[in-house]
A and B are shown apart, each in its own frame.
Chain A
Amino acid sequence: MHNDMTVKIVSKNFDIKDSHKLEVALKHGRYSSLKKQFSMSPQEVTEEVYESGLRGKGGGGANTGSKWRLMPREHEKPAYLVVNADESEPGTFKDRQILEYDPHLLIEGMINSSYAIGANHAYIYIRGEYVFWAKRMQEAIDEAYEAGYLGEKVAGYDYTLDITLHRGAGAYICGEKTALLESLEGKRGHPRLKPKQQETEWFFGGPTVVNNVETIASVPFIIKEGFTAYRKYGTHCSPGTMLFGLSGHIQNPGVYELPFGCSMKEVIEKVGGGILNGKKLKALIPGGSSCAILRADEIDNITLDYESVAKNGSSLGTGGMIFLDEDTSIPDAMKNLFEFYHHESCGQCTPCREGTGWVDKIMGKILSGDGTMADYDKILDACKMLNGKTICVFAPSVAYIAESYISKFKDEFYALLKD
């Protein structure tokens, strides 16, 4: 186990000129995992990924191999792989780097993964706003078809795979895997009720795996080098690397691939170049806006892995870190996020549809100087109403973050109240 901050698994080709073109991609190792993959059985590929401990990079962090293991080996309707490229969690802008600089890595990973789960058709659901990236991805898919890496007899082997790119149209909730599948089935993006026991997802009645772009892009390395090579990086429970996004008040914003387990403070200083304009850090949101906020004095011992961030009261989420400097008003930031959540609530469950709006309104009242202690308490009440009473995790996470803002920065909220 080591934390070499220069290791590159997913972003290895990002700096190469024209890395998105097949000709260049082939020179730099793309599709080289296929030979080994086709020498293995689908079960063996699944087990290799399971043993690697690869965790989903879309925010949940579930073990990827465990998800694949749930796929039934015999099924009436065809199986599908769906890649979630509906990246829209505020603070998250990592998958677009893969789509832009190494789309063939994603296609290669999709071949590995589809083969493992027994799918012959895979979809990429990309957010509607990513027009440039959809075009780039489609060009790569076209190139791959032409060169025989997609379609019948993938790379000459006895296996068929089609990939279809499907564009969303501006709904945050479609990043939730079941809402995504509803949307892919042509409906409003409403999350589905989850079964009690763990099982696969379903697309038109066919067993389906939904994985994030970065997760799938990590698979070729694991197949080619073996799971022990992947486990060399990161920590025991969070193996490998992740694309971390730095944004907000940071000197060098951007996306950086780092092994799990790096010290958060070190990353801020060495990778991020410190807080913007030499100011002091007030707070940070560690993994996209749906994670609890952390005060600057809470981050000293945090390392960037799921366990450490969770132990310190937040979650690693998508790895999209948003930094807030000493001059930032936390109530302002919270209001900003509640406008987001109110707008993006899909409207299916009443507590979420109404509750997010209430908190947004109360925050507006407090910020305008008309708020009272009763309003502050009302936010806490609304949080209780939001938590545990809805179909998906949108509302519970909104409640969880609201509580973190108002409890950790009480003084700032109190200062705005009338009495």
Chain B
Amino acid sequence: MSEFKFSQENEDKFNELLKRYPEKASLSLPSLWMIQYQIGWISPESMVFLAKRLDTSPIDIQSIASFYTMFNLKPIGTYHIQVCKTLSCNLRGSKIITQHVQNRLGIKVGETTKDMKFTLSEVECLGSCGTAPMISFNHDYEENLTIEKVDKLIDEAQNA
């Protein structure tokens, strides 16, 4: 078990944020974001760390972190491909996009490639209904998608 602590930048940000809320409990989500940006996921050690900083118990932090879909409770690939699957995207062909990414990477939804480069998820409405189908590619919205566009994104990531 390796210790977790905030980077200096996050430490400063945390102290800055303390001034912006009436109680420090509010800092749970912003802090979980900082942790995830720092190490890529929410590790058990980071939850112990955060619990101390917020004067609460690790299980409380675990309960919060596990409620929100976007916090990764295990490590994921460098590139997270999230295909929006809800109705508007579904009507405009999101299934074809998912199928193509699965074939191309040889993984199923919810899996990560062996080299830890890509993780594929299907997610609920990302608020991009007018430009469907779409994916969130490492949190960048790629809209009005075609198979060609998806291939280009994967190619670029693979060569990076």
A contacts with B, residue count (CB < 8 A):
58
Determine whether B86 belongs to the interface, using a CB cutoff of 8 Å to chain A.
yes
Find B71's partner among A130, A169, A172, A333 (CB 8 Å cutoff).
A169
Q: Which A-chain residue is minimally distant from B28 (CB atoms)?
A: A186
Q: Which B-chain residue is minimally distant from A129 (CB atoms)?
A: B126
Determine whether A20 belongs to the interface, using a CB cutoff of 8 Å to chain B.
no
In the assembled complex, the Cα of A157 lies from the Cα of B61 at a distance in Å of 42
Q: Enumerate B71-129 residues with CB–CB distance to A below 8 Å.
A: 71, 85-88, 90-92, 123-129
Find A167's partner among B23, B27, B33, B90 (CB 8 Å cutoff).
B33
Contacts of B69 in A (CB 8 A): 169-171
With A171-B68, A189-B67, A248-B87 as known contacts, state yes or no: A90 contacts B23, CB within 8 Å: no
With A128-B70, A170-B68, A324-B91 as known contacts, state yes or no: A93 contacts B127, CB within 8 Å: yes
In the assembled complex, the Cα of A204 lies from the Cα of B88 at a distance in Å of 37
Chain B interface size range: 35 or more
Contacts of A90 in B (CB 8 A): 86-88, 124-125, 129
Other than the given A170-B123, A344-B124, 10 more pairs (CB < 8 A) read A78-B22, A88-B124, A90-B87, A91-B125, A93-B128, A129-B139, A132-B141, A168-B68, A169-B32, A170-B71
Instruction: Please give the residue numbers on chain A whose beta carbons come within 8 Å of chain B beta carbons, in ascending order.
Output: 77-78, 87-93, 96, 121, 127-132, 162, 164, 166-172, 183-189, 203-204, 206, 245-249, 253-255, 285, 289, 320, 322, 324, 328, 333, 336-337, 339-340, 343-344, 346
| Nearest 8 pairs of A and B residues by beta carbon | A169-B68, A170-B69, A247-B129, A170-B70, A186-B25, A186-B28, A247-B88, A253-B130
14 pairs across A/B with beta carbons < 8 Å?
A90-B129, A129-B126, A168-B68, A169-B71, A170-B71, A172-B124, A186-B29, A245-B129, A248-B129, A255-B130, A336-B85, A339-B124, A340-B87, A340-B124
